[in-house]
Amino acid sequence: MKFSIFYSLLFASLILVNEEVYANSKASKSAQQNIHHICESSYDLCLSLLPPYLAKSPKYSRLWYAYKLYQLEALFALERDEELEKMLLTVVSRKDLPEKFHIYSYILYAKLIQYKGDTELANRYFNEAKELLLAVNKEWPKPFELIKVANMLLYMNQYQIGYDMLLGLEEKFSHFTDANFKYRLYTNLGHFALRLQDHPAHQEYRLKALQWAEKTDNTNMQAIANFNVARSHYFVDSFDVAIKYFNLALTVSLKARNQSLVDKTYLNLADIYHRLNNRNNVKVLLKKVNFDDLDGVYAKLYTQLSNDN
């Protein structure tokens, strides 16, 4: 009798332990899926929530690299370049990087280097990342990866090659309904059309990218897509339409907490009002810009508009 009671209690305790392990495992998977969704939809929130995930993962494990890549991509999307560069420098020199992380970290680092003016070094990183991507996709090319290759060709000034490549992708994957893929495809087609001075195509692709961005939960994508539509009209002096979409971009970029895009939007609007001789609007808009965060073309534009108004 005592033995049967003992085994009954033991069996019950084992069930409870197994249920607890299963529940913990299920909760862990749920948390990973949740952070995945968050990092796909909100870069600012992703950066806020990631540190505990990184801290709990063994450093340089596959999971750690997956979380780290989310962190790098969010910093790049929000144009927090100093933080991004500091973080990349701690990993790009490692010889044991997982394949996907190796490729994407090199692409991000190359873009940063090129922005700083070192085109030769940037091309070395782009070429290594491109060769790795092409090798990975040799047998079964993945459309997302091919967009990455085309984007690198854009940065390497190989405009017609990249454009033709993406036009082929558009035709081959016309049946795809993945909003993320379509947004990235048309965003990059828009980049190439602008470089090739095809303004009607530029406007068309920017609008298509916006339509697909609006099918996602990613407010940063939506903000950038509105901004790009506005710029496509700005380039052909269609200022009324440009102002409309810049205002939409401003609303969404504030929601996405993308301060860099907010400042760029204010400056584009100020530039338009400067061209329309509306000096009061220019002054109001310039006061909203955080000058300390500006660099390159936008820092020069801010200085020019300030001096002229």
Query: What pLDDT does 306 receive?
Result: 92
Please give the Cα distance from 194 to 188 (Å, whole number): 10
Please give the Cα distance from 116 to 122 (Å, whole number): 10
Of 22, 31, 73, residue with least CA distance to 53: 31
Q: How many CB atoms lie within 10 A of CB 102?
A: 19
Of these ranges, 5-19, 147-161, 235-249, the one predicted with the greatest mean pLDDT is 235-249
Residue 244 lies inside a defined structural domain of this protein: no
Please give the Cα distance from 17 to 146 (Å, whole number): 47
Of 86, 156, 154, 169, residue with least CA distance to 124: 156
Supply 34's token pair.
């949740």
- 257 in Cβ contact with 220 (< 8 Å): no
Residue 286 lies inside a defined structural domain of this protein: no
DSSP summary character for residue 157: T
Task: Kindly report the backbone phi and psi dihedral angles of residue 217, in degrees, each rounded to the nearest multiple of 5, phi listed first.
Answer: -95, 5
Supply 208's token pair.
């298509």
Please give the Cα distance from 54 to 70 (Å, whole number): 11
Of 202, 123, 186, 182, residue with least CA distance to 155: 123
Residue 123 lies inside a defined structural domain of this protein: yes
Residue 121 lies inside a defined structural domain of this protein: yes
Residue with tokens 């860099």: 260
- 149 in Cβ contact with 127 (< 8 Å): no
Please give the Cα distance from 271 to 265 (Å, whole number): 10
Alpha-helical (H) ranges within 142-238 are 143-155, 159-172, 179-195, 199-213, 219-234
Residue 142 lies inside a defined structural domain of this protein: no
Is residue 20 very low, low, confident or very high in pLDDT (cuts 50, 70, 90)?
A: very low
Residue 108 lies inside a defined structural domain of this protein: yes
Predicted confidence (pLDDT) per residue in 107-118, tens digit: 999 999 998 889
Predicted confidence (pLDDT) per residue in 60-115, tens digit: 999 999 999 999 999 998 889 999 999 999 999 898 999 889 999 999 999 999 98
Query: What pLDDT does 139 receive?
Result: 57
How many domains does the chain contain in total? 1
pLDDT above 70 for 44 = yes
Would the CA dihedral through 79, 82, 88, 93 be positive or negative?
Answer: positive
Residue 92 lies inside a defined structural domain of this protein: yes
Alpha-carbon radius of gyration of the chain? 24
> What is the reported pTM?
0.78
- 108 in Cβ contact with 76 (< 8 Å): yes
- In the chain, the percentage of residues whose pLDDT exceeds 90 is 67
First to last CA, the chain: 96
Q: Which residue segment(s) compose the domain that 67 sits in?
A: 43-136
Residue 115 lies inside a defined structural domain of this protein: yes
Please give the Cα distance from 41 to 217 (Å, whole number): 5
Kind plus residue range of the DSSP H or E element containing 300: helix 296-308
